[in-house]
Amino acid sequence: MDTAIPGQSQVATGSRFVRACLRQPVDSTPVWFLRQAGRYMPEYMAVRKHHSLLEICRTPQIAAEVTITAAERLGVDAAIIFADLLLPFTPMGLDFEFVNGEGPVVHQPVRSLEHVQALRTDRADELQYVAQAIELVAKHFASPRDDGDTLGIIGFIGAPFTLASYMIEGGSSRNYVETKKLMYSGSAAWPLLMEKLLTVLTAYAQQQVEAGADVIQIFDSWAGALSVADYRQFCLAPTRELIQRVQAMGVPVIYFGVDTASLLPTFRELGADVVGLDWRVPLDIGWQALGHATAVQGNLDPITLFAPDSILEARVNEILTQAAGRPGHIFNLGHGIVPGTPFESVLRVVELIRNSRPS
């Protein structure tokens, strides 16, 4: 059944999730959830009671346990390693913390060429704790499950723009004023920052692939804040370069962003294997905008999980109908599960997907 793919010899194809990333036929639409190990889940909250977010990320046994528990409780087809987008900031020399209710805070945001020049790119090895957690997760899920399918292991990194935005703004942002100011300034700061992030992210992704990640997801969560012209001028080249470097490691790449409908035709030029779609664009329209040149992942509105079952079922079915059984659809949400989401609704979506068959 499994066919060898030129240049993709390392790719495991005993996984319906990985097969869908490569647009190969599958027995059943693969499903997993963005932020499947998060605050909506009682098991995660029990661990969070005793450990901070960063402690969990930096302790391979705990990160692996959280990752495995979420994937098994939900019965999904992929496990995303428990980590955070901002972890590479520490070896780059940028201190940050998670402030309760506020999200990440970078104490000295990057605003000048001098500061960009001072960022270090030679300590990516300090992130090996993430690779160690992936090794534990890969070992745990090495054997096929009861249905014969092997669970996919997802490693992840941030995209240059989204990581730069946290570095420059110092946290989450609404208008990205400081980020765009630096981008537009014409100084060497932006290209140098892109180059430094590329160096660190390549090394970090390499560690994750060597540890057993089957697929790397690149989160460009906030790319939707950019106009098509700005994306093309300031972000397309470094992002495409990063994707190519990760693919050269022998794994498929999922590229994910939110509010990206107008950017989708440009995303074709990235060469990613899979593009994540949010719920604002109907899946078929989004896939068409990508020229059907990639697989797609998505795209249920995470807030639909708060709706009555009849609406939830209708929205899930709409997405499956729009995917139309075409190879290369991975069911997911358009963005992460939010705190307070009813756990049973998440399980219900898995059940609905399992009971459907790609036509």
Is 240 annotated in the active site?
Answer: no
The Cα 9–Cα 331 span in angstroms is 25
Given the residues 48, 123, 240, 280, the one annotated as active site = 48
Binding mask 18-57 for ligand CP3 (x = CB under 6 A): ----------------xxxxxx--------x----x----
Take residue 179 and report the two structure tokens written for it: 């980020």
Take residue 164 and report the two structure tokens written for it: 């730069």
Take residue 106 and report the two structure tokens written for it: 């970078």
Is 16 annotated in the active site?
Answer: no
* Cis peptide, bond prior to residue 332, ω within 30 of zero: no
Running DSSP on this structure, what letter comes out for residue 187?
A: S
What's the closest the beta carbon of residue 187 comes to ligand CP3, in angstroms?
A: 26
Is 48 annotated in the active site?
Answer: yes
What's the closest the beta carbon of residue 341 comes to ligand CP3, in angstroms?
A: 12
Given the residues 40, 166, 204, 255, the one annotated as active site = 166
- CB-nearer residue toward ligand CP3: 103 or 325: 103
Provide the β-strand partners of residue 155. Answer: 216
103 binds ligand CP3 (CB under 6 A): yes
- Tell me which of 62, 72, 90, 98 binds ligand CP3, using CB under 6 A: 98
Q: Mark out the alpha helices in 250-358 (DSSP H runs).
A: 264-267, 283-289, 309-323, 343-354
The Cα 18–Cα 139 span in angstroms is 17
- CB-nearer residue toward ligand CP3: 45 or 314: 45
What's the closest the beta carbon of residue 181 comes to ligand CP3, in angstroms?
A: 21
Nearest to 24, CA basis, from 286, 249, 250, 330 = 330
Distances (CA, A) of 168 to 104, 105, 173: 12, 11, 10
Given the residues 23, 35, 58, 315, the one annotated as active site = 35
What's the closest the beta carbon of residue 312 comes to ligand CP3, in angstroms?
A: 20
- For ligand CP3, how many residues bind (rule: CB under 6 A)? 21
* Contact between 93 and 67 (Cβ < 8 Å): no
- Tell me which of 17, 40, 82, 176 binds ligand CP3, using CB under 6 A: 82
**According to CB under 6 A, which residues from 150 to 189 bind ligand CP3?**
156, 172
Enzyme catalytic residues = 35, 39, 48, 84, 166
